[in-house]
A and B are shown apart, each in its own frame.
Chain A
Amino acid sequence: MSLLARVVTLLVAFLAVVAVGAFVVIHYFLGGPPTVDFTANVKPDTGATVQVVMQEDPQNTVTTHPDWVSYFIKSPQTGQWVHTTVFKVPAGSKVDMTILGYDGCTPLRNPYFGHVTGTIGGTEDVDGKPVTQINSWSGCNVGHTFSIPGINLNAPMASPSLTATLCGPSPCTSGPKKTMTFSFMTPKTAGTYFWQCRVPCGGGFVDGFGGPMQTIGFMTGNMEVVS
């Protein structure tokens, strides 16, 4: 092999290794769902209110896992639904949360988490009616939960009736749903607070706790609190 051929081979091999390394870093370490920002024009620690709107769907038609249940967040800037579970809110602020529950029912593994905690007033509204708990074992009542353990927040999400035909393409824009509203205060300490669903809704995985339950962007994510 000539000197030129050897140099070219070496160069190509080197570039290939660099490319693979860059792909791994960018795709696996730096990649992730986008962050929806609710901090624009809101001063932290003033008690100001931010409006967060989310929906939980029986599936998603926007990822490579279409049979995974998923949350979506509505961008306040564009009004579009974003397939993510990461959002940013100001510290010391009031969050008025609205979650549209399009998914069907699945019983909680621990019915204790049918109990509303950590919200202002200790209640949530389901289709406008205040509730303090929803029993997921007594019937088709609970689809998911929205829980932030770091601030002891737990809100069960009511589900459409058993016979309802759930929405098909997602993010859902029509179809039977329940609307949950509740408010909570964000911590005064900046930081990242993870949130999760407590219903074992990872269908097809052991005990329902795999797949979307373990993947940021589907049934768990982060609330980034900034000061």
Chain B
Amino acid sequence: MAAPAAAQPPSETAKGPNHGLRLVLLWLPVAVAADLLIYLVWGPHLPPGQMSTSASSQQFDIKIMAVMAAPVMAFVLIYFGYALVVWRQKAGDTEDGPAIQGNTRIQASWITITSVLVLFLAGFGSYELVTTGPAGADGAGSGEGPSPIWTPGGKPLQVQVIGQQWRFTYRYPQYGGFETTQLVLPVGEEVEFHVTSLDVIHSFWAYQLGVKADANPGVDNVAFTKALQTGTVTVRCDELCGLWHGAMYNFGKVESVSAFRAWAQKTEVQLASVTKMLPPYATSYEPTVVPQINKAMAKSGIAGANGYYYPPNDPAQP
């Protein structure tokens, strides 16, 4: 069986074809084409799309990593294919191949190239982690979370996202604090989500907006976004939350500013009587100690704790 060029002494390789040059000539156009396709064709369509810029940093990072990885992957596959075709055992050839020997130039090249790639990606990743985000919003998650270290400025529209098994509801504190199962947002305006839960751990994932925030009971997770286009937003729970977790989704809408305001004002009026039943707007609601419940139950003579209340004459007492 013939041996790869890399395993042969220079004196032997000089006699045969220049496999290294062949490999480079095969690899180079494939690598360039792959990188151009990744950056120019696939890159602009990376999920979750262009409805907002909330995930643009992640999209850019993934694009750069793919551009760096594609030539490496192309080289490995081309080398693999080349070896299968060129160095395969010929019919009737039963001899052992020549002993494998070191090739300092190839080893040094491989170590240098891969080290440069890995060190570049480590540096690039660290830089992105530390600096990426809107102005002043450095750090992982762009500084958002329970204690956001930046705000987009101005007066963003506040939308509270309340997770509960197995539905999200939304409160609009700037419109009287009404609550609804519909998520409607204005295009081109900053939105400040306040994400919380009333029972177990959920996760609010507004896919097309590139927003994902944990919904934890007793916690107010803040996330910002600005929709750049009108359209439909798919909202899913992204944290396993019980029997019907898979069915915990809904579709939101991004509308023009005027259409949003008309909807919000109309809904505020329509739901005024429902809003009166709700607790005052707060950034989170403690699921087991709701003062209003305790007060109402004490008034009614019902004792209970930990979220369940049974009248004393109920035949089934837990």
Contacts and interface: CB of A to CB of B under 8 A. Distances in A.
Interface of A: 58-59, 66-69, 104-107, 109-112, 114-115, 117, 132-133, 135, 137-140, 149-150, 152, 162-168, 194, 196, 198, 200-209, 213-216, 220
Given A104-B311, A106-B309, A137-B277, A66 B300 contact: no
B298 to A, nearest CB: 11
B17 interface: no
A201 B308 contact: yes
Contacts of A58: 314-316
Given A112-B277, A140-B302, A106 B199 contact: no
Contacts of B296: 107, 137-139
Given A107-B296, A149-B167, A209-B199, A162 B307 contact: no
12 contacts: A58-B316, A67-B318, A109-B164, A110-B198, A111-B278, A132-B273, A133-B277, A162-B300, A165-B313, A200-B199, A203-B308, A207-B199
Interface of B: 162, 164-167, 169, 179, 181, 198-200, 242-244, 247, 250, 271, 273-274, 277-279, 287-288, 290, 292-293, 296-297, 299-302, 306-311, 313-318
Given A58-B316, A110-B164, A135-B277, 19 more contacts: A58-B314, A68-B316, A105-B309, A107-B297, A109-B287, A109-B290, A110-B198, A111-B279, A140-B302, A164-B313, A166-B311, A167-B315, A194-B244, A200-B307, A207-B200, A207-B287, A207-B306, A208-B306, A220-B243
Contact of B181 (A66, A69, A140, A152): A152
A204 B316 CA distance: 11
Q: Is the interface of B mostly helix, strand, loop or mixed?
A: loop
Contacts of B308: 106, 200-205, 208
A218 to B, nearest CB: 11
A194 B310 contact: no
B299 A149 contact: no
A178 B179 CA distance: 27
B277 to A, nearest CB: 5
Given A112-B278, A201-B308, A107 B318 contact: no
A109 B198 contact: yes
Contacts of B273: 132-133
B311 A105 contact: yes
A168 B315 contact: yes
Nearest to B198: A109
A58 B301 CA distance: 18
Contact of B316 (A59, A164, A214): A59
Nearest to A111: B277
Contacts of A194: 244, 247
A163 B167 contact: no
B174 to A, nearest CB: 18
Contacts of B318: 67, 203-204
Contacts of A209: 165, 199-200, 242, 307
Contacts of A205: 308
